[in-house]
Amino acid sequence: MTEQINVFCLKTVHRDYGGGPIQDEFDSNEFYLDTHVLELKNQLDQRFRHNFRFFCLTNESSITLPDINLLDVSKYDMWGWWNKMLLFKKPYTQPGLNIYIDLDTVIQRDITDIIQYAIHDKLTSIYCYFKPIDWERQAYEASNYNPFFKHVTLMNSSFMMWYDDELEFIWNQFQREMDKSMVMLRGNDEYLNLFHKDIMNFMPRGIFYSYFYGAEEGSEFFPKDKDPFLKRPQYYVRMLNGYGKRKHRVHARFTDKRPVPLDYKVKTTVARETRQIFEDKGIVTDENGKPIELSYNKVGLEVSS
């Protein structure tokens, strides 16, 4: 008999109360609607052949369907993705197998058997095979020590699995220095990798790919498969990662015959993510991710080249 399975998603809305940014202005990639919740539930009903309870962590929703359980997170007043940390806290975490899925995820094929990768006392998540293998080691230096890249990680929490309340210690530690962590780190991926790397269990290749970054960085063992905005029907799950909705993005490539530096993969990935950071704030950048001229973003931060 299969134990209880619980599937979670997260949908938060941040309003402008006194001059702060509206969420879709600050980061449009984190702006989701109730329709996205319903779409994910529909995908699971079609491509996940287990009985499961469905939960949505939210601070605002008009959903009233009996098979979608809303869990209020408003009292914690955390920004967007940081609310994922509540998944490890009772009463949010549930008895049995817990599965979390981002709302910008598309389930392309049947994932019924995906539960076999869950392990007790471990956090099963995605490994970014579509990023350079030396990303964590070289990104900070390659970015000229940009603090945005100090704690980068190849771990991605768009999909996670864990059992019961076995990982509640993650929340207990996080809440002790919550404000500091949310200032120092870009998100919960970096937090989990920095403080809980020893409990990570990663999904194998061939299941997840990124609509924005591609599927495989490539090596002597695995062929390169990095074309962005390409649907790959052989994979089971497409991670849009928010950025994937912006189809004008392209990957930087050499146009002459100069030899490619050893850290080129890392530097181009740094540049791409730096461009995203600034352009989400309304700042024009060059191909290396540097602001072109003095500008002000939507929260009043002055940035100068």
Which pLDDT belongs to residue 245? 46
Residues 58-70, mean pLDDT to the nearest whole number:
93
In whole angstroms, give the CA distance from residue 148 to residue 171: 23
Range(s) of the domain holding residue 46:
5-303
pTM, to two decimals: 0.78
Number of domains composing the chain: 1
The least confident of 109-118, 250-259, 265-274 is: 250-259
The least confident of 81-90, 222-231, 234-243 is: 234-243
For 95-125, write each residue's pLDDT tens digit.
Answer: 999 999 999 999 999 999 999 999 999 999 9
CATH code where residue 160 lies: 3.90.550.10
Across the strands, what pairs with 173? Answer: none
For 165-200, write each residue's pLDDT tens digit.
Answer: 999 999 999 999 998 898 889 899 999 999 999 999
